[in-house]
Amino acid sequence: MHRLESLVESLLFVSETPLSLDRLCSLLEEFDRAAIREALDRLLERYGGEGRGIVLAEVGGGFQFRTPAGNGDVIRRLTKARPARFSQSALETLAIIAYRQPVTRAEIEYLRGVDSGGVLKTLLEKKLIKILGKRDIPGKPLIYGTTREFLELFALKDLKSLPSLKEIRELSETAVFEQQEELPLAAPPEEGREQ
């Protein structure tokens, strides 16, 4: 392993947040950008294969070591962490914001058909959404967008990584549900005949 590759690997390992190529370049200013990118590409190749305990993923505009989703149950035994759980209303609101941002509360509530103030407050507290500013219309309503933490939580490189509506439709159309056979009802006893 080259010295630069080792340095990049160490920085990615100790960082709590994804590191962008620009950030790596500023931390490793004695190396040129092309060399750092090559080291990253080699690490992506090394840690991209199946069957590894850690993978190097491009998420949230940067690179970060992560554990494969399939190992989550065992890892939670060690960390005692609970997986992130979201209510249906939180997921609906997040989806609206992710696909329609920048979006106002009124637009979210119009699409959902219910008040979303509490859900927005919770998502702001969890740092999954942020206030981007105010819309230049009467009343100057706040406009919302997703955060880097949103991208990290859902393992997205950027917002373009979200599935398209066409892909979502195709997934729902190809879903195969197990069907149960209907059991025949017992025939009613015939009159005059004992069972």
d(CA 63, CA 30): 20
Q: What is the mean pLDDT of the chain?
A: 84
Task: Specify the pairing of strand 103-104 against strand 55-59.
Answer: unpaired
Give CA–CA dist 96/105, Å, rounded.
Answer: 10
Sequence-separated (6 or more) residues with CB below 8 Å from residue 89: 112, 114, 116, 119
Phi, psi of 189 (to 5 degrees): -65, 140
Q: What is the pLDDT of residue 64?
A: 92
pLDDT, one tens digit per residue, over 36-68 is 999 999 999 999 877 888 999 888 889 999 888
**pLDDT higher than threshold 60 for residue 119:** yes
What is the C-alpha to C-alpha distance for residues 58 and 70, in angstroms, rounded to an integer? 18
Cα(141)–Cα(107) distance, integer angstroms: 10
